[in-house]
Every structure is written in C-alpha cells, then in structure tokens.
Amino acid sequence: MKKGKKININEKEIVMAQVRTYDSDFELSIGSFGTFSKKELLENIEKESEVGKQIVEIQMNYLRDLVSGDIYKILED
C-alpha cells in the first residue's frame, strides 16, 4: 500500500474483525517493524499506521487468494 494512502474502510473493518478472533496471547512478527500483540495490531490498524496498512494489505491478499482458490494452487507447489 502506498505511503499516505488511506485504508479502505470495508477492508479495515474486515481485518479488524478477523484480528479480534485471535487468541489474547497472539503475536505477529512483521519484518523490520517488529513483533506485535493482538492489541497492538488492532491499534495500528485503527490508526492506519504503516504497520496497520501492511496488516490490512497482507490479510486482504490472503482472503482474496482464499476466495479465488489461488491459495490452494500456492499450497500445491
């Protein structure tokens, strides 16, 4: 996602709903950004920080691949 670009509100809500289902002790490492707790992920998505934008982009790509069936092609390789 381009720097400064706002997150699509529908995508933001979808990803936040998905993150809310994670266990309370869930942590995610995002490259050079570091490791984030569930609470920190939600805060970053809400604030639309660079980390939040990355999370939304990654999750939406995953969901699109899942719906289209492309995820299964990737897993077969």
Binned at pLDDT 50, 70 and 90, residue 2 comes out as low
51 lies in a domain?
A: yes
Domain annotation covers residue 4? no
- Cα of first residue to Cα of last residue in the chain, in angstroms, is 27
Tell me, rounded to whole angstroms, the distance of Cα 55 from its chain centroid. 3
The count of domains in the chain is 1
Angle at 56 between CA 36 and CA 38, to 5 degrees: 30
Q: Is residue 48 part of a domain?
A: yes
Is 59 within the bounds of a domain?
yes
Q: What is the DSSP letter of 22?
A: S
pTM for this predicted structure? 0.82
* Residue 17 domain flag: yes
Q: Looking at residue 47, what is its pLDDT?
A: 97
Confirm whether 31 is domain-assigned.
yes
**3 occurs within a structural domain:** no
Q: What is the mean pLDDT of residues 50-67?
A: 94
Domain that holds residue 56: 9-76
Is-contact 28 36, C-beta < 8 A? yes
